[in-house]
Amino acid sequence: MGKFTSGNRLKLTTILCFIVMAGIITFTDACKKCNRPEHCTHPHGQPTTTTSTTVSENTPVVSTTDIKVVTIANIRKATDGSSTQVMFCQLAELFTVSDASVLAILQDAFDNHRQVRVTVNPYSANVMHATALSGAEMAARQVNAQIINEGLAMNLNNLNEDIVDQPAALGVINTTTPGLTNVIPDMATAQLMFDYITHQCCAIPGPYGVDFCISFQYCEDGCYARAHKMCWIINNMYHYDTHKIFSFANSGGASLSVKAEKWGGCCINWWYHVAPLVNIKTPTGTKAYVFDPAMFDQPVLLSAWLHAQANPACSGSAHVSMINIQPTASYSPASYAGTTFDTDPMYADTDSTMVNYRPRVSCP
């Protein structure tokens, strides 16, 4: 019985090689153009049409910096001690900070459990500036509702890999939401949904079938918004139930590392990642699959999704420390431990993230 440990690589390597040979592993093909635009309903209830805003394939990156008010999840040294890493709950990307004055502001905010305004460069993964919030700003900010202790957190160092693709063993097979079907009947049905979602990619000229195109082409950040939008489509357009699968690199100096060959070949490092988790009936039983068009060209087993985030070619510390299977409502982690989560019930952050990341691409 194998485990997700550094000493057992043979089976994991075999799985990865098989996926690569089959042509489904991460970042292999560009987003495909949608030849069958459809109508759907906006998450807030207004109908949308196929005349939604489109994006040219040649749209330039409009900014190489982001300014955001964030909660610091953790500050730590890299495994080799060469840099100081900082993780924000509202951003999946793993950042470094080299300016001592910036680090001091971040450390003070972290020690005193305060949010801070940061300017980051997502392409260099560097925190450029940090500013403490005023008392009035802190008082005016409202914290999203949190989902606490509703999910299933598992340390992968102690998890038997033979059960990771089994929904029944993971406890997600008998949690059907009223009005939604828990198990997708076959891979063909799942692929149909996956293809429709992929066709909403911002790298494809529209029209789109949703209100805002989905920024699969920009992998540095935004997985939380992409997952929220994908779950809405699966739930409301196709009426199948979903969970969210969060993966974390929250022990030691670990990182989630992928090579974005589909988008230019650069390496991207996250401290967490999230995507929709579904149950699909297969000839060998119901299995746990992940929808992640930013990484794959079809639904993939949960184990394959996890292995793809530990690419040693991108980082010697690439490792998935733990996973947490959450209700669909969970949006982003509220702590470094990965056990509490913020929500986005009105899709406010989802929509603003989609708009902000719409013109961006990975590996510019």
Q: Which helix (H) or strand (E) holds 143?
A: none
CATH number, domain containing residue 101: 2.40.50.340
Q: Do 306 and 184 share a domain, yes or no?
A: yes
Q: Do 171 and 151 share a domain, yes or no?
A: yes
**Mean pLDDT along residues 248-269:** 87
Q: Do 204 and 309 share a domain, yes or no?
A: yes
pLDDT value at 347 more than 80: yes
Domain assignment of residue 318, given as a range: 10-60+145-357
Q: Please, are residues 91 and 68 in contact by the beta-carbon 8 Å criterion? A: yes
Q: Is residue 4 situated within a structural domain? A: no
Q: Do 98 and 226 share a domain, yes or no?
A: no
**Mean pLDDT along residues 195-211:** 90
Q: Is residue 168 situated within a structural domain? A: yes
Count the Cβ atoms, other than its own, within 10 Å of residue 16. Answer: 19
Is the omega angle on the peptide bond into residue 207 within 30 degrees of 0, that is, cis? yes
- Answer with the residue of higher pLDDT: 254 or 48: 254
pLDDT score at 271: 97
Q: Do 83 and 186 share a domain, yes or no?
A: no
Instruction: Indicate if the alpha-carbon torsion angle 317, 154, 261, 311 is positive or negative.
Output: positive
pLDDT value at 160 more than 80: no
**Mean pLDDT along residues 92-106:** 96
Q: Is residue 275 situated within a structural domain? A: yes
Could you give the percent of the chain with pLDDT greater than 90?
Answer: 58
196-199 own/partner pairs: CB under 8 Å, 24+ apart: 196/34, 196/38, 196/233, 196/237, 197/230, 197/233, 197/234, 197/291, 197/293, 198/31, 198/32, 198/293, 198/297, 199/31, 199/32, 199/33, 199/34
- Answer with the residue of higher pLDDT: 71 or 48: 71
Q: Do 38 and 73 share a domain, yes or no?
A: no
**Mean pLDDT along residues 346-355:** 94
Rounded CA-CA distance 21/63 in Å is 37
Amino acid occupying residue 24: I
**Mean pLDDT along residues 216-236:** 96
Lowest mean pLDDT among 24-38, 113-127, 129-143, 206-220: 24-38
pTM over 0.75: yes
Q: What is the mean pLDDT of the chain?
A: 81
Counting the structural domains of the chain, the total is 2
CATH number, domain containing residue 334: 3.10.620.30
